[in-house]
Structure 1
Amino acid sequence: MGEILKLVLPFRSTGRETHHPILAVCAVLLGPFMVGFHSRLFGIGLVDLRGAFGLGFDEGSWLSTLATAPQMVFAPAVAWLAAAFGIRRVMVGPALIYATISLMIPFTRDFTTLAVLHVIHGSLLGVFVPATLMIIFRNLPMKWWITAIAIYAFRGAFTVNSGTALLDFYVQHFGWQYLYWQDVILAPLLAFLAYKGAPRENVNMDLVRHADWGGMLFLGMGMAMLFVAVDQGNRLDWFENGIVTSMFAGGLVLIVAFFVNEMLVERPWAHLGAIGARNVVLLLSVALFYLMSSMSNSALVPNYLTAVAGLRPEQIGATLVTWVCVPLMLMTPIAVWAMHRTDGRFLLFTGLCCFAGASLIGTGLSPDWNGDSFRTMCVLQGAGHILTFLPIIVLTVANGDPKKAIAVAAYIQVIRLLGTQTAQALMTTYLRKGEQFHSYLTGLNVERGSESSVSALAALAHKMAGAGAALSQSRATAVLSQQVQKQANVLSYIDAFWLTFFCAVGGLVILAFVTKAPKGPLTA
């Protein structure tokens, strides 16, 4: 019982307890779903948004960066802000302002105004996820902690895989504006739940007087600059561009300044020692490998079906909802049941094996694959998400120092935001470079004048003979070039599936060194 009190104590409010704690929990669980759906809809709907706002490719790319980078500035500090100022002050006002901005954006056409609104929009969006775990521990009985964490873990994979179908539904039936306007309904609901469910807390003046404002500013701004560099790296060719190089350099300098600050200030906000426990370091390392291996689901499958198989969004959405979301929903209560009765490391082992198996299936990719060809892989990925992410969160909290919970929450946000974006950027770069490499190698076997090339072109030209001799020959050459590029794309995706397989195996290797978590409310 003493350890349980130590775990809950850092999250105690300084005011009266709420009479509706379940409403506060509903509010903070609604927040991650809202953030997840908006982020996914914005990412895959950017092409529609560029057309609606009349933006060029570069402007659209910068709009995406400006809409996400501000989350990095505030997200690590939200848990501390909630502890210092109370959930009501942190959640209610920003949610209402966020709803107003979401209502305004579709009516805006000036790019400068649009950019400013998205910066504010992204800053507010970064508030709604980081306080989730803290509110769960503060407001729910211990027997419900794992269930609530499972809902939090569930939303990540669910919003990613159902987002394509939801985007198509909005565009087909309501309009692209509902990418924003869905939050005009959800954000006020979140504000209402937070207001009714959270206690009326006094400001914790002790935390405010000893606030580590410098540390929060250094980490937040450093992460934002690194995000800009990573997000724009592929488009601007990484270190060949001055903006990317300067953002990387500036971000790293600020991160170093953050660590120096944490060693010098009297009360560091997020001292590195908060994640210094052996098991915590290992589990956060496993989390990074999980983020990379999960790219087989969030990036490789939908991108392949779009770019190579040529499927429409509604076809891709149906595949992901049926074969990822449904297994995910079925496995979530099973995972909760198992976490209450067995060591979470066994579930984590099973989840990583699911991702390894799915990636291994992906290495058998061929140009003939369509949505149905990914069924088994998607089922494994759906199960793998909850069996991996849930035990990572539970075991990290269970192995951490309860007195440093706010600091641990800050580092979790670093991995959630910057780690995810870095994994996406690395995968995009890997696919792009792989396609170029395989195009070159495949092209070596299509030599001009060779017997195989001449016969292939002759066969293609014969099929297009009705267009005339000259036109049929040029079309045959174009078709052959497309086939070479398609094959190069397939080979690059096979390499990417191998990469995610080895990342899953790497996570398993690190997991082997994780020892049993200390006895507590989050362990069986």
Structure 2
Amino acid sequence: MLQDENDLVEYGFRRVIITITAILCALLEIVDTTIVNVALNDMRGSLGASLTDIAWVITAYAIANVIIIPMTSWLSKQFGRRNYFATSIIIFTMASFLCGNADNIWELVIFRFIQGLGGGALLVTAQTIITESYPVAKRGMAQAIYGMGVIVGPTLGPPLGGYLVDNYSWPYIFYINLPIGILAAFLTFIYVRSPKYGKKLRANQVDWIGIVLLATFIGSLQFVLEHGQQDDWFNNGLIVALSVASLFGLILFIWREMTYEHPIVNLRVLKDGNLRIGTIMTFIMGFGLYGSTFIIPIYTQSVLGFTATDAGLLLIPSSITTGIMMPFIGKMLQNGVPQKYLVTGGFTIFFIYSLWMYLIMTPDTGAEHFFWPLVVRGIGLGLLFVPITTLSLSTLKGKDIGDGAAFTGMTRQLGGSFGIAIITTFIARWTQQHRVDLLPNITAVDFNVQQRLHGLQQLFISKGYAINEALNKAYKMLDYTVNRQATVLSYMDVFIFLGVLFLLCVPFVLLIKKGAGKIDTSAAH
């Protein structure tokens, strides 16, 4: 017997506790995707790992995460949502402890993969639990509360990680998960309820082939995105082989899921027009959210010389702005303001933020120059996250909500992976191109160049270097200046690229069904 979706609606104290539990879990998962970035150097030193090896700490987690996310809805139905959610929290928490105790790099990579399998479930299941705990009319507010965790999480990671690494040591970035994980598991067992969605499948009915094809498609794609730039993309045999595996894995996976009686991922839910459009916009939002969260710390550390903690702290005003906005946006949706107006505003404001960043980029930009553009970024993301998420799930009912949440969760993560891969490639390629373009401006006969070289040479002579040695150092300094300027120009290009991408999304918003913004309230009657 199927359960009416209104049976899962909670009220009063229970709803508050369930909401806090779900947000804690979403925060745990998202903070862990970014907290590791600032600790990689310390891990390399203490574990004796190469730069390529240490990258697997991020890659293993991301691959496990993206493989498990589409399967969460199915696993919840098989084992019961409460049991599956609680088990995922326990797996994530135990793996965190093991990560902190790893003796070598490959132990850490294996434990990070296990942590990713537990973590992938937390995000999507938390979203489904919050959505179903609120009456349909208040789901805009529910998504606003959930969105606070999802948007604030990526920006909390770097400053928190920087603080723990600077003041303690890298294992503490994993140990910090233990008390939160234990509390969340305890609250889940007591308060979270499982919907009843019919019979469980027998072992011989489980879509094992679908699971293998999904893992092949997503796992290969994630590896290609994470390692493509450093391995020179399609000039590398492994990247080519995995790209082919990913493509064929996708084709066979779609065929399998559309023809099998008990599919592991319910692709038929994509017949819902709002979910389709929402999925595309979620992908672009993930691209912008994770892409800009990734690019700003790297720019400030590599070009401007910020510390890891300072680079992480820079993003906090943006997160606070988004967090403050979320309840107001939830209220606007509850009062019937159409999502399409809010989303159009969000994409347009993100374009303004990107243009502003383009205009302030120099080799000497100070922390104070970033403050207002990043506040504008926070406003843009606030206007995007809640309306897109409520839009995506607005016309879904019952068990389809879980399937829809899994799709939006997967596309947000994939959007972030594509964003980071494309941005790192663009920065590398465009920096080379700008260097080639800048070099003709520096000629030995140019008076300004001679003046600069002479000034630098005199500087090094005054520090005790011989004339020839000082001249060599002056040339190196000039070369460094050219490289730095080329890097800055490539970051400027990336911001313009991001801005134009968001502006191009506005026509998609116009495809939203008329009245989609009011579906939540009308469905409540």
Instruction: Verify same fold: TM over 0.5.
Output: yes
CA deviation map 1:402-455 (0-9, x unaligned): 563343233223202222111111111111111111011111222345544333
Per-residue deviation, 1:37: 1.0
Q: Trace 1:101-120 onto structure 2 (pairs within 5 A).
A: 101-120=95-114
Contact 1:398–1:517 under 8 Å retained in 2? no
Which residue number corresponds to residue 287 of structure 2?
A: 292
Q: Distance in 1 between matches of 2:30 and 2:477?
A: 40
Picking from 21, 29, 40, the partner of 1:46 is: 40
Q: Distance in 2 between matches of 1:95 and 1:33?
A: 12
Which residue number corresponds to residue 461 of structure 1?
A: 457
1:382 aligns with 2:378: yes
Over 3 Å counting, the alpha-carbon distance change for 1:76 and 1:18 in structure 2 is farther
Q: Distance in 1 between matches of 2:261 and 2:46?
A: 51
1:489 aligns with 2:487: yes
Which residue number corresponds to residue 66 of structure 1?
A: 60
CA deviation map 1:358-410 (0-9, x unaligned): 11112212222121111221011011111101110001111446563343233
1:153 aligns with 2:151: no
1:329 aligns with 2:327: no
Per-residue deviation, 1:145: 2.6
Which residue number corresponds to residue 3 of structure 1?
A: none
Per-residue deviation, 1:117: 1.9
Q: Trace 1:383-462 onto structure 2 (pairs within 5 A).
A: 383-400=379-396, 404-448=400-444, 450-462=446-458
Q: Distance in 2 between matches of 1:208 and 1:521?
A: 36
Contact 2:284–2:415 under 8 Å retained in 1? no
Structure 2 gap ranges (5+): none
Q: Distance in 1 between matches of 2:85 and 2:288?
A: 33
User: After the TM superposition, which of the residue ranges 267-276 and 247-256 deviates more from structure 2?
Assistant: 267-276
Per-residue deviation, 1:108: 2.1
Residue type of the alignment partner of 1:397: L
Which residue number corresponds to residue 507 of structure 1?
A: 505
Q: Distance in 2 between matches of 1:20 and 1:291?
A: 31
1:339 aligns with 2:333: yes
1:243 aligns with 2:238: yes
What is the DSSP-based 3-state SS (H/G/I as helix, E as strand, rest coil) of the residue aligned with 1:464?
helix
CA deviation map 1:16-39 (0-9, x unaligned): x99945434332221110011111
Q: Distance in 2 between matches of 1:465 and 1:186?
A: 58
Contact 2:76–2:84 under 8 Å retained in 1? yes
Per-residue deviation, 1:207: 5.0
Percentage of identical aligned residues: 21
1:162 aligns with 2:156: yes
Which residue number corresponds to residue 228 of structure 2?
A: 233
What is the DSSP-based 3-state SS (H/G/I as helix, E as strand, rest coil) of the residue aligned with 1:514?
coil
User: After the TM superposition, which of the residue ranges 410-419 and 502-511 deviates more from structure 2?
Assistant: 410-419
Residue type of the alignment partner of 2:438: T
Q: Distance in 1 between matches of 2:277 and 2:270?
A: 10
1:218 aligns with 2:224: no
Q: Distance in 1 between matches of 2:212 and 2:13?
A: 35
Which residue number corresponds to residue 120 of structure 2?
A: 126
Figure out how many residues of one structure are paired with residues of the other and give that number: 515
Residue type of the alignment partner of 2:519: G
Picking from 306, 309, 324, the partner of 1:311 is: 306
1:55 aligns with 2:53: no
Per-residue deviation, 1:201: 7.4
Per-residue deviation, 1:44: 3.0
Residue type of the alignment partner of 1:488: A
User: After the TM superposition, which of the residue ranges 94-103 and 31-40 deviates more from structure 2?
Assistant: 94-103
Residue type of the alignment partner of 1:25: T
Which residue number corresponds to residue 191 of structure 1?
A: 185
Residue type of the alignment partner of 1:152: Y
Contact 2:39–2:165 under 8 Å retained in 1? no
What is the DSSP-based 3-state SS (H/G/I as helix, E as strand, rest coil) of the residue aligned with 2:304?
coil
Contact 1:352–1:508 under 8 Å retained in 2? yes
CA deviation map 1:29-86 (0-9, x unaligned): 2111001111110123222222232211111012321232112222211122112321
Q: Distance in 2 between matches of 1:154 and 1:195?
A: 24
Picking from 239, 254, 263, the partner of 2:249 is: 254
What TM-score do the two structures reach when normalised by structure 2?
Answer: 0.90
Alpha-carbon RMSD: 2.7
Picking from 72, 76, 79, the partner of 1:85 is: 79
Residue type of the alignment partner of 2:237: G
Contact 2:286–2:416 under 8 Å retained in 1? yes
Q: Distance in 2 between matches of 1:523 and 1:480?
A: 66
Residue type of the alignment partner of 1:224: G
Per-residue deviation, 1:142: 3.7
Structure 1 gap ranges (5+): 1-5
Per-residue deviation, 1:482: 1.0
Q: Distance in 2 between matches of 1:299 and 1:511?
A: 26
Residue type of the alignment partner of 1:520: I
Per-residue deviation, 1:10: 6.1
What TM-score do the two structures reach when normalised by structure 1?
Answer: 0.91
Q: Distance in 1 between matches of 2:364 and 2:180?
A: 41
Per-residue deviation, 1:333: 1.9
Picking from 270, 283, 295, the partner of 1:275 is: 270
Per-residue deviation, 1:513: 2.7
Contact 1:295–1:423 under 8 Å retained in 2? yes
Contact 1:72–1:221 under 8 Å retained in 2? no
Residue type of the alignment partner of 1:422: F
Residue type of the alignment partner of 1:387: L
Residue type of the alignment partner of 1:386: G
Per-residue deviation, 1:483: 0.7
Q: Distance in 2 between matches of 1:513 and 1:455?
A: 59
Per-residue deviation, 1:506: 0.8
Q: Distance in 1 between matches of 2:17 and 2:367?
A: 40
Per-residue deviation, 1:520: 3.1
What is the DSSP-based 3-state SS (H/G/I as helix, E as strand, rest coil) of the residue aligned with 2:124?
coil
Which residue number corresponds to residue 498 of structure 1?
A: 496
Q: Distance in 2 between matches of 1:19 and 1:491?
A: 53
Contact 2:77–2:200 under 8 Å retained in 1? no
